[in-house]
Copies of this chain bind each other. A is one copy, B any other.
Amino acid sequence: MTTPQRHSWKDIRDRIHARILDRTYRPGDKLPHDEDMAQTLGCSRSTVQRAMQDLSESGLVERRRKGGTHVRPEPVARVTIEIPIIRKEVEDLGQRHGYQLLSRAALPPPAEIATRMELSAHVPCLHVRALHLAQDRPYLYEDRWINLQTAAEIDSVDLCTISANEWLVLNMPYTRCELRFFALAADADLAKALHTSPNTALFAIERTTWIDTQPITTVRTIGAPGYQLSAST
Chain A residues packing against B (C-beta within 8 Å): 20-21, 27, 59, 74-85, 88, 169-170, 173, 175-185, 199-204, 207, 211, 223, 227-233
Contacts and interface: CB of A to CB of B under 8 A. Distances in A.
16 contacts: A20-B173, A21-B173, A77-B179, A77-B207, A79-B177, A79-B179, A80-B81, A178-B232, A179-B231, A180-B228, A182-B228, A182-B229, A183-B201, A185-B200, A200-B201, A201-B201
Contacts of A79: 80-81, 83, 177, 179
B200 A182 contact: no
A205 to B, nearest CB: 9
B180 A183 contact: no
Contacts of A84: 74, 76-77
Count of chain copies: 2
Given A76-B84, A76-B85, 4 more contacts: A21-B173, A27-B170, A77-B82, A183-B184
Per CB-CB distance, the 6 closest pairs between chain A and chain B, nearest first, are A201-B201, A183-B183, A182-B228, A183-B203, A77-B83, A185-B201
A131 to B, nearest CB: 18
Most B Cβ at <10 Å: residue of A80, A184, A202: A80
Nearest to A181: B229
A80 B83 CA distance: 11
A220 to B, nearest CB: 12
Nearest to A75: B169
A94 to B, nearest CB: 17
B76 A82 contact: yes
Given A82-B59, A170-B27, A230 B180 contact: yes
A181 B27 CA distance: 29
A73 to B, nearest CB: 8
Contacts of A77: 82-84, 177, 179, 207
A217 B58 CA distance: 20
Contact of A181 (B74, B169, B173, B228): B228
A162 B160 CA distance: 55
A22 to B, nearest CB: 9
